[in-house]
Amino acid sequence: MFIKNQTFSDEDTLLEKIFDFALGEATEHITTITNGITAEMQESKELQAHLATLEEEDRLALEDEILQENLARALMSDFQSFKVQDAKLYGIANGQETLLYSVDLH
């Protein structure tokens, strides 16, 4: 994990930060989005059938990848840019910052 203060607006960097901050504490905003994505994944018969063919380690990795990619897409639609400051990830929309994740580095 490498967390440095920065501002960005691209999906690739956001995916990296979601991976880094997933070890920290998610806010209610993130939890709501991830719960919705998880529910959609569970309702997808096609996805569930495919997952059933995989070994557990591969299944868990694929589920996590799908969740993170969909989370990044949802956040990209909610916010214009993102900021990492003091081990916290914020989404920025219309000049307002929304805390998404925090990590205790102590």
Nearest to 68 by CA among 102, 20, 104, 103: 20
pLDDT tens-digit profile of 89-104?
Answer: 999 999 999 999 999 8
Residue 90 CA to residue 81 CA, distance in Å, equals 9
pLDDT surpassing 60 at residue 76 = yes
pLDDT surpassing 70 at residue 2 = no
Nearest to 17 by CA among 6, 29, 28: 6
106 class by beta-carbon count within 10 Å (0-12 exposed, 13-18 middle, 19+ buried): exposed
pLDDT surpassing 90 at residue 105 = no
pLDDT tens-digit profile of 58-71?
Answer: 999 999 999 999 99
pLDDT (0 to 100) of residue 3: 66
Q: If you average pLDDT over every residue of the chain, what do you get?
A: 93
